[in-house]
């Protein structure tokens, strides 16, 4: 599995833990300017870049573009994602819109991010197996469909409650060990956002190069 997509958790062949609501205020979330720029995985087995910028011209939300070489034949694939970033003390949380190709599941994929200096970024995603166990034990509200490592987990709590849970000791313990990104170049946050070459749906499918499939 390609490193950058794996640590962003948008391209898992199995299941992606989703939340019905983002971790933060979707309407008023300001872009975290520290994310602005071009990033690559600190340890990667192939060319891949992540471009991060504000979601709109007013500085709200977050817009991500991944660029990767496919098949070793010097062809490039790009994928775009929209969401919000919410800063909370030492950590921040990315909530990115997600939808499977068949539209059976949709919601927000959640990642925790932490800066180590100005130009190094650590990203962690929720462990779906441990998260499923917590939901099944009714410690947090949610839905679990399926069994074992292929179970679909959907968190149903409100944005406020979700953010509070992610910040708690119990929530922090559900994140996988972090993976690193390093900044390749900085972009001017004041520059206008480039228009997408094609229309994008409100819920963007995963950027895998392989169509995501339901785990059920």
Gap between the Cα atoms of 1 and 58, Å rounded: 36
What is the per-residue pLDDT for 198?
Answer: 43
Position 4 pLDDT exceeds 90: no
d(CA 160, CA 165): 9
Contact 68, 86 (CB under 8 A): no
What is the pLDDT confidence band of residue 105, given thresholds at 50, 70 and 90?
confident
Q: Is it the case that residue 179 has pLDDT exceeding 60?
A: yes
- pLDDT-based confidence at 83, cuts 50/70/90? very high
| pTM, to two decimals | 0.78
């Amino acid at each position: 599995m390609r490193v950058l997509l794996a640590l962003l958790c948008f391209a898992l062949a199995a299941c992606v833990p989703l939340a019905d609501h983002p971790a933060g205020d979707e309407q008023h979330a300001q872009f975290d300017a520290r994310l602005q720029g071009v990033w690559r995985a600190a340890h990667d087995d192939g060319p891949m870049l992540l471009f991060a910028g504000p979601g709109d011209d007013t500085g709200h939300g977050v817009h991500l573009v991944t660029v990767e070489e496919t098949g070793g034949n010097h062809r490039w694939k790009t994928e775009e994602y929209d969401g919000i970033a919410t800063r909370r003390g030492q950590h921040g949380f990315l909530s990115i819109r997600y939808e499977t190709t068949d539209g059976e599941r949709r919601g927000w994929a959640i990642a925790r991010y932490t800066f180590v200096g100005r130009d190094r970024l650590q990203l962690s995603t929720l462990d779906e197996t441990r998260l499923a166990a917590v939901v099944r034990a009714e410690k947090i509200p949610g839905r679990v469909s399926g069994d074992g490592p292929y179970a679909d987990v959907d968190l149903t709590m409100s944005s406020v409650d979700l953010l509070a849970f992610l910040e708690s000791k119990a929530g922090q313990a559900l994140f996988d060990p972090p993976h690193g990104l390093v900044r390749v170049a900085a972009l001017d946050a004041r520059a206008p956002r480039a228009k997408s070459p094609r229309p994008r749906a409100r819920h963007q499918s995963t950027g895998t190069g392989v169509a995501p499939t339901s785990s059920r």
